[in-house]
A and B are shown apart, each in its own frame.
Chain A
């Protein structure tokens, strides 16, 4: 069976500090990978997605970047955090089945920027 991990679970960082969130998937190969941000109690905003190693598509221009150094590893980064970067960050994977994009989510990282 497939599992998806995210860490850390929670993070409190000062404004201007760097960020690195990690996501790994087990039990599958060549997944599509996604980073989302969720405001409190609301829908999900897609930040980045990747269909393969080194292939990153950005959905929203902002203070964040993503990288995929290995097939099942997806990293979200920032050089200098802003207050507006606070939120709940979710990683997800999908099999890439044509026309049926079922996504499976990790447990999330709660980021607070002070």
Chain B
């Protein structure tokens, strides 16, 4: 069974601070997605990484896929209250009917 562990589980920071969320597994994934979810809504896809060592930037968010495709990180620079939410990583298997294995989630709260 593939498992994805996220750390930390909870993070409360002030506006302007930087943070990093980690997503780790002992399994290899063909792709890795990051989602953000707000209370009472469905998760929204932020990014997909597919190549080991790949780095993608989305404004103040930087996503990295580990060289061995077993782990990933999300770094937020100068966090804002609008970044508040539940961050979920998800690892993809192979094939067209592949399923996603979701991480345990990191709840981020950014205060003024």
Which A residues are closer than 8 A to B by beta carbons? 32, 34, 41-44, 46, 49, 51, 59, 90, 92, 96-108, 110
A101 to B97, CA, bound (A): 8
A24 to B4, CA, bound (A): 29
Q: Is the CB of A97 within 8 A of B97?
A: no
A42 to B5, CA, bound (A): 12
Q: What residues on A are CB-neighbors of B90 within 8 Å? A: 103
Q: Is the CB of B41 within 8 A of A107?
A: yes
| Cβ of B8 to closest chain A Cβ, rounded Å | 13
Q: What residues on B are CB-neighbors of A92 within 8 Å? A: 42
- What number of A-B contacts does a CB cutoff of 8 Å give? 72
Q: Is the CB of A105 within 8 A of B31?
A: no
Residue in B33, B50, B99 with the greatest tally of chain A CB atoms within 10 Å: B99
- Of B40, B86, B99, B107, which contacts A46 at CB under 8 A? B99
Q: What residues on B are CB-neighbors of A104 within 8 Å? A: 45
Q: Is the CB of B100 within 8 A of A103?
A: yes
The interface size bin for chain B is 20 to 34
Residue in A41, A44, A59 with the greatest tally of chain B CB atoms within 10 Å: A44
Q: Given A42-B105, A102-B31, A102-B48, output 7 extra A-B contacts at Cβ < 8 Å.
A: A44-B102, A46-B99, A49-B99, A51-B96, A90-B42, A98-B95, A103-B45
Q: List 9 A-B contacts (CB under 8 A).
A: A41-B107, A43-B102, A46-B100, A90-B42, A99-B94, A99-B98, A101-B98, A102-B31, A102-B48
Q: What residues on B are CB-neighbors of A110 within 8 Å? A: 40
| Cβ of A29 to closest chain B Cβ, rounded Å | 14
| Cβ of B52 to closest chain A Cβ, rounded Å | 13
- Of A32, A51, A99, A108, which contacts B30 at CB under 8 A? A99
Q: Is the CB of B88 within 8 A of A43?
A: yes
| Cβ of A51 to closest chain B Cβ, rounded Å | 5
Query: With A90-B42, A99-B30, A105-B42 in contact, do A51 and B97 touch (Cβ < 8 Å)?
Result: yes
Chain B 92-112 against A: per-residue CB contact (8 Å), 1 yes, 0 no?
111111111011110100000
Q: What residues on A are CB-neighbors of B103 within 8 Å? A: 43
